[in-house]
Amino acid sequence: MARPREFEESAAVESAMHAFWERGYEATSTQDLCEATGLGRSSVYNTFTSKRALFRRTLAHYSARGLAGRRAVLEGPGTAAERIAAMFAGLVDEELTHDRRGCLVVNTLAELGVPEDEVGEALRRDAEQQLALLGECAREGVLDGSLRDGRDPAAVAEFLLSTISGLRVMSRRGASGEAMHAVADLALAAITA
């Protein structure tokens, strides 16, 4: 019995995501995608229509997974400051225990900017969702007293997202765990009461 096409697409998107994450959009050839997914060239194009469309799907998949993980930490127990500290610690540990690929979204922003197409829309949507989640945590932090009073939650969210992106770039350039933890500690100190 053949597997459902939806399952095959899901597995292909996951595999393609890793290929794009390792090489970047431009450096990933159609042949690389065929090898990563196990699909033939015609199957890749019949299923996803283009390399760009497949890339957009991988970004959406990566973003959804990343947002779910971040949400689990930022909506978990403890004060907002404790949850933000846990988020930073988890991010640094993840970078140090994996292959230091950084973040697919950050890497894409560095490579492509924010193009005026579906890829750009996926990047904008990721930023909006991340900022909303971080902003809500910042609002809670002002209320629970763990973050400095008078801070604009939207500005804190932008600061946190910039710090997250910076830590991912530090990892890609091979910064030590000690240096990455120090930056996370400085960021936390800047917003905590």
pLDDT at 2: 52
Average pLDDT over residues 149-155: 94
pLDDT at 99: 80
pLDDT at 21: 95
**Helix, strand or coil, per DSSP, at residue 165:** helix
Decide if 70 is inside a domain. yes
Decide if 31 is inside a domain. no
The span from the CA of 19 to the CA of 31, in Å, is 11
How many structural domains is the chain composed of? 1
Is the pTM higher than 0.75? The answer reads yes
Please state the separation of Cα 30 from the chain's center in Å: 24
Residue 193: pLDDT band (50, 70, 90) is confident
The span from the CA of 29 to the CA of 77, in Å, is 44
pLDDT at 5: 55
The span from the CA of 171 to the CA of 176, in Å, is 8
CA angle 100, 105, 110 (to 5 degrees): 85
30-60 pLDDT per residue, tens: 999 999 999 989 988 888 999 999 999 999 9
Average pLDDT over residues 118-141: 97
Decide if 5 is inside a domain. no
Decide if 2 is inside a domain. no
61-79 pLDDT per residue, tens: 999 999 999 999 999 999 9
Decide if 92 is inside a domain. yes
Average pLDDT over residues 80-104: 94
Of 9 and 165, more confident: 165
Lowest mean pLDDT among 7-11, 66-70, 116-120, 175-179: 7-11
CATH number for 100: 1.10.357.10
Radius of gyration of the chain (CA): 18
pLDDT at 185: 98
Decide if 18 is inside a domain. no
- 84 burial (CB, 10 Å; 0-12 / 13-18 / 19+) is buried
The span from the CA of 40 to the CA of 108, in Å, is 25
Q: In whole numbers, what is the pLDDT of the chain averaged over residues?
A: 93
**Helix, strand or coil, per DSSP, at residue 110:** helix
How many CB atoms sit inside 10 A of residue 62's CB? Answer: 22
Residue 4: pLDDT band (50, 70, 90) is low
pLDDT at residue 20 above 70? yes
Beta bridge partners of 147: 192
